[in-house]
Structure 1
Amino acid sequence: MGTEEKKEPEKTENRYEEIEKALKRTAKAVAISSDGKPEVRDIDAIRADTFTKLYSAMSSGTILTGTLSGCETAKNVITPELAVQGIVDYGGVKIIIPAKEMWTKIPEGLSEDASSKDKFKFYTSKVSAMLNAQIDFLVERVDKDKNIACASRASAMAIRRKQNYIRKMHGETESRMEKAVREKRRIEARVVSTSGTSVRIEIFGVETRVKAADACWRYVSKLSSVFHPGQHIYVIVKDMRIDKNTGDIEINASIKEATENMLLHNIKYYQEGSIQTGTISGKTVKGYYVAVGNTFTGIDVFCRRVMGQSMPQTGDIVACKINRIYDDGNASGKITRIIKPIQSISY
């Protein structure tokens, strides 16, 4: 009678522990191989591959894409638009993009008689606001010894504009974007920066600002809580003006029109004259916005009047009476009482 050989149990050492050990032994980095598994590679080998790509892109004029990861100020450079620099980590190589090369047009907000100090603050603020944004760039110079490369986002944007807005499609009488706008197609855009009241996006080399009214169907007090740099979204371009002589392009876009208006569906579940529980989601000089229901099934009720002597604050849970429902899914009413203040004391 034969005996079965006992197989040794397979080693189940965590592959990430192996990677960690390898990193401690030598200057290694973790890359993702073609089959999707983590792979430990020599940092110098990775950088060598990166420099090959950079030299090739520089000679061919190929546009590269990366994530803006830093904002720095160059030493011993007195010109603000050259001293303030955006940084992209591209395969272990530091890509430097001066503020002058970050935009085709200087962002609004800088006065012509601004001092050098004010310019430094302005450019630092604008570049910093773009951190984590995905941007295109053209490589202009490579310094392998210093492990850096200098690039221009503005030049890459100019090429994107020419390809998509100016140049006519083969056998067509209009450009790719002209056709997309005419047919009211959804167009992919990149979020470049956000603020409380607007979202700045880039559509094939053209930046435009989307105001709160065109960003969301529901009321949002701070758009930065919904959108962030690096995010890819869809928009509908409502209006576009192209000056083919100067190359200037102006776009009026809407984020919300590229999505379904959920309010038209949700409003059917509410009645005029009903009293609903909601949360104060924001306030303006004209009144309060009360969010009734949840994010997916709720509505916003704009209340100009507040019953009682106490004035509610953002975050308070209140009761509101819906006086009127409109065809666009919005509603108006009044706050009848504060149910639970946001600063209430728990016993």
Structure 2
Amino acid sequence: GEEGEKPLLYPGRIAEARVIAVAPKAVRLEVFGVEVSVRARDMAWEWMLDASEKFQVGDLVQVMVNKVDGQEPEQISVEVDAKTPTANLNKDNLRKCHRQGKYTGVITEVYKGTYFMRLDIGVNAVAHSCNMPTLPGKGDKIGIVVTRINDNYEVAEGIITRLIKRYK
């Protein structure tokens, strides 16, 4: 480029990126000719079982450029996220959620005995226990009783009380 011309990619820039591939846990984007992989959890505020629930090849998404390394186009590596430019609706949706309320949702992840869920009211939720004879798994549709609203982490916490539908 010309001397003193600002590069296209610089930290803090909001840019448009094109989705070029989608895997369950990551989305591959192309932004100004540079390819970058972004973890699904950095693509959306809501927890997803599979990134293809929300993203398809060819989609255009707004991203925030967080880091740029290298000068030459062939060697440039960037880090971006698609959460920063989008409204975090979790905060608003969390207000609709109440202690002792019963909700339904889908388990997006199970890790070390902790269940991570996306509730149908648009809230991320965590459960450390299950009052069920058989343990649910990833992808299962479940019922949960909310015991606490965790504003710091913007999640509802609760106990899984029933299995509505097995995933597989």
> Does TM, normalized by the shorter one, top 0.5?
yes
Larger RCO (CA under 8 A, 6+ residues apart): 2
How far residue 291 of structure 1 moved from its aligned partner, in angstroms, is: 2.7
Extract unaligned runs of 5+ from structure 1.
Answer: 1-166
Greater fraction strand? 2
Kindly provide the amino acid, as one letter, of the partner of residue 162 in structure 2: I
CA distance in 2 between partners of 1:248 and 1:215 (Å): 24
Contact 1:323 1:334 in 2 (8 A): no
Pairing 1:279–2:105 present? yes
Pairing 1:262–2:86 present? no
Deviating runs (4+, > 6 A) in structure 1?
Answer: none
Kindly provide the amino acid, as one letter, of the partner of residue 305 in structure 1: S
2:8 corresponds in structure 1 to 176
Pairing 1:196–2:24 present? yes
CA distance in 1 between partners of 2:120 and 2:147 (Å): 13
Match of 1:334 among 153, 159, 165: 159
Q: Greater CA radius of gyration, 1 or 2?
A: 1
How far residue 192 of structure 1 moved from its aligned partner, in angstroms, is: 0.8
User: CA RMSD for the aligned pairs?
Assistant: 2.3
Contact 1:319 1:339 in 2 (8 A): no
CA distance in 1 between partners of 2:81 and 2:130 (Å): 33
CA distance in 2 between partners of 1:196 and 1:240 (Å): 25
Q: Counterparts in 2 of 1:20-59, with a 5 A limit? A: none
Extract unaligned runs of 5+ from structure 2.
Answer: none
Greater fraction helix? 1
Q: Deviations over 1:282-338 (max 9, x none)?
A: 2322322333234xxx20111121123221243333123233413342233321x11
SS at the partner of 1:224? helix
Q: Deviations over 1:103-123 (max 9, x none)?
A: xxxxxxxxxxxxxxxxxxxxx
CA distance in 2 between partners of 1:213 and 1:290 (Å): 13
Identity of aligned residues (%): 21
How far residue 280 of structure 1 moved from its aligned partner, in angstroms, is: 2.4
1:323 corresponds in structure 2 to 148
**Number of positions where the alignment pairs a residue of Structure 1 with one of Structure 2:** 165
Kindly provide the amino acid, as one letter, of the partner of residue 111 in structure 2: V
Q: Deviations over 1:26-53 (max 9, x none)?
A: xxxxxxxxxxxxxxxxxxxxxxxxxxxx
